[in-house]
Amino acid sequence: MSSSRLLSTVRWAVLGTGSIATDMTQILKQLPSCEVHAAGSRSIESATRFADKWDVPKRYGSYEDACKDPDVDVVYVATPSLRHPADCLLALNNGKAVLCEKSMAPNVDSAREVLEVAKANNLLFVHGVWSRFFPAMQKIREIIDSGAIGDVRSARASFCQNDGAGSCSALLETGIYCAQFLQWVLSDPSDATGGHPVVIGATRKNHAEQSHLDEHVSALLDFGGRMGTFECSLAHVSERSATVYGTKGVIEVPFPFWCPTKIKVTAMSGAGSQVWEEPVEHNFPLPNDIKPLAPFNFVNSEGLSYEAGEVNICVREGLTETPAFSSGQCLDIMRIITEIDEMSKAN
């Protein structure tokens, strides 16, 4: 990467040609001083179809060739989940910054290896838990810090959807959003490691007998006396919301809580906390300068521009960490997921 180009156009390679790669490519093509320079797939036919559709100049029939392109600054890893660690290492070892779709790894040890390579190579790595970059999430933190709902004592998150995705783990697919939410609202924000919560309990139901993949997981976490609960599933539905509970009120985050555009704050007081003040709603419209070039595959995909824009800023400024989501916080979320996985298997 040349320093002069970092001040002008940030060039991306997209690895993978599926639904999320399609949505992100539409976003990148509309960000200022940003270019989708290359598309990589496991076959040149797939890469060519994708590149032709989205007017991407370079197309590669292997992920390795895309990562070796000398004109690429950032690699967006949107390959099948089990490939993520290997593809991240491939990009990092070729000198590229990385934005990796969740989940970046199947467990904390694999995630740690990726982060250590990024640090050793002095390269930016961002785990694509896009929730962290939404303005509504920042507002939630501001409300908590202001004392508007008193001292936060607990929180809950539920992300259950009936995907019938027997080849996926609910814990890695949707549970990671629950874990990150609890970490965000219950841990000490000044602790760059994420706060190291203790997993008190976890239970699961697998896809089928003999399967090692979970389809429904519930967990209880202790963040230094502040309790967090969550459930995730790929076999049934829930309202997919989250709530923060304080001594003087609550913050409600409705569907879709993992990419939120609205929050509601209700103060409660009096005997039995039965005096409810008028709820205060905070709305955060999605960026109006981002339009679907084709139908998006996921809800609120316009919000992918928040994390992609942050990556562009970090690359231009030569940062190896984003202040919005440190590697320590990322690693601790993966540790939470790993410990829940291990405990639920034991139970």
CATH classification at residue 18:
3.40.50.720
Q: Is residue 185 part of a domain?
A: yes
Q: Read off the pLDDT band of 2 (50, 70, 90).
A: very low
Same structural domain for residues 255 and 150?
Answer: yes
Are residues 162 and 115 part of one domain?
no
Confidence of residue 188 (pLDDT cuts 50, 70, 90): confident
Q: Do 165 and 260 belong to one domain?
A: yes
At 163, the pLDDT band (50, 70, 90 cuts) reads confident
Are 105 and 201 in a shared domain?
Answer: no
Q: How far apart are CA 48 and CA 54, in angstroms?
A: 10
Interval 167-175 mean pLDDT: 90
Q: Are residues 153 and 259 in the same domain?
A: yes
Q: The domain spanning residue 209 has which CATH number?
A: 3.30.360.10
pTM exceeds 0.85, yes or no: yes
Q: Report the distance separating Cα 312 and Cα 24, nearest Å.
A: 13
Same domain? For 125 and 250 the reply is no
pLDDT tens sequence across 215-255: 999 999 999 999 999 999 999 999 999 999 999 999 999 99
To the nearest whole number, what is the mean pLDDT of the chain? 94
Domain end: 229, 249, 283, which one? 283
Query: For position 168, what pLDDT does the model report?
Result: 81
In a domain, 208, yes or no: yes
Query: What confidence category does residue 166 fall into, taking pLDDT thresholds of 50, 70 and 90?
Result: low
Give domain status of residue 294, yes or no.
no
Task: Measure the CA angle with vertex 157, ends 330 and 237; round to 5°.
Answer: 115
Does residue 296 lie in a domain region? no
Percent pLDDT > 70 in the chain is 95
pLDDT of residue 211: 75
Structural domain boundaries, residue 206: 135-283
User: Of the residues 253, 283, 313, which one is the last residue of a structural domain?
Assistant: 283
195 and 314 together in one domain? no
Say if residue 145 is in the same domain as residue 118: no
What's the number of domains the chain is made of? 2
In a domain, 347, yes or no: no
Answer whether residue 193 shows pLDDT above 90.
Answer: no
Does the structure show a pLDDT above 50 at 272?
A: yes
**Same domain? 205 vs 148:** yes
pLDDT at 4 over 50: no
| 143 and 250 share one domain | yes
Question: Could you tell me what percent of the chain has a pLDDT over 90?
Answer: 89
Same domain, 25 and 152: no
291 part of a folded domain: no
Comparing C-alpha atoms, which of 25, 33, 78, 86 is closest to residue 54? 25
**Average pLDDT of span 191-211:** 79
Q: Is residue 47 part of a domain?
A: yes
Determine, yes or no, domain membership for 289: no
Amino acid 33: pLDDT: 95
Co-location of 313 and 189 in the same domain:
no
**Please, is 95 exposed, middle or buried when counting C-beta atoms within 10 Å of its C-beta (0-12, 13-18, 19+)?**
middle
